[in-house]
Amino acid sequence: MTSRVFLVLSLALLVHACVDNRESFYIEHVKVLPEFPDCEYSVGDPVSPFYNVDLNQASSVYGVFYVTNALMAKEDYANLVAESNGIFVERYEVYSQVGNSAVVPTEEFPSHHYIPPESSDVLMAQLMSSNVVETLRNAFCVEYKLPEIADAIANGNSALLSQITPDNTPPESILSVVRYFGKTQGNIDQETQKFSFNVQPYCGPVGGWAPCFENPCFALCSKTVVAESCFPGVNAPNNCAAYLSGYSVRVPNPADPDGPAVDFCAAHCTGR
């Protein structure tokens, strides 16, 4: 009877320890992504409610996580302390799901970071690996070459539009779930809760390619400034002009169709 009671109490203490573990080492929120050209982030950056991701441009999606170690610091008695309650973060697990289905199985990546006791810091981790992005791109996007699209727009070849329009619309939101693991200086295992964050995916320019074909001068001749990004395809939704910026297309001269080809913008979009 005594052994049985001891076993029950031990299990109860173990469960309680796991709960305390996640309450003392946890992810609080996600920060906005850093801006180009510095691409630096800090604990003082504002919180981000979600990330926008262009599946056709992104290779992988990183997040900046604000992580807290709430363990109380141990006192140092003449430098003989073997446990400071600082946490050495060693790895993290991540998976993304559409509805209740995981896009790919849970993935694990190394992490090398130290968080002192009773403090917080920012850690970067992959929200969506290249494997996840590629799987979603294959499911919801259409492969295309921008020079071919530019030529089709300039020549009024609207038949290409149906070929570059995805049959399946990406879901409004994808849930990415992250959890960090580590050990204290005294080699006690620590892990955060599973933290969920929304990623809003899309394929290609916001609004689709149709507006480009409807307004070729805007698509090909607009002086849209393309902002450089620390993470291509993330939090930088672009219109078609931004996608096609820099593509110079030559077409027959309207005034002399049999003569040499001329620049589309110079021939058709004067004043642009």
Query: Within its chain, how far is the Cα of 264 from the centroid?
Result: 36
Domains of the chain by residue range: 20-73+80-268
Question: What sign does the dihedral 52-55-58-61 (CA atoms) show?
Answer: positive
The answer to whether 237 and 229 are in contact (CB under 8 A) is no
Span 166-218, pLDDT tens digits: 888 899 999 999 999 999 988 999 999 999 999 999 998 888 899 999 999 99
Average pLDDT over residues 138-147: 92
Question: Residue 134: CB partners within 8 Å, gap ≥ 6?
Answer: none
Q: How many CB atoms lie within 10 A of CB 150?
A: 22
- Where residue 236 falls among pLDDT bands split at 50, 70, 90? confident
Between 187 and 272, name the one with better pLDDT: 187
Token reading at 60 = 């992988």
The answer to whether 181 and 18 are in contact (CB under 8 A) is no
Alpha helices in 184-237 (DSSP H): 210-214, 216-221
Give the pLDDT confidence score for residue 242 in this predicted structure. Answer: 86
The answer to whether 100 and 171 are in contact (CB under 8 A) is no
3-class state of residue 121 by DSSP: strand
Residue 19 pLDDT more than 70?
Answer: no
3-class state of residue 124 by DSSP: strand
Give the pLDDT confidence score for residue 96 in this predicted structure. Answer: 97
pTM, 2 dp: 0.81
Residue 272 pLDDT more than 60?
Answer: no
Residue 222 pLDDT more than 50?
Answer: yes
The answer to whether 200 and 49 are in contact (CB under 8 A) is no
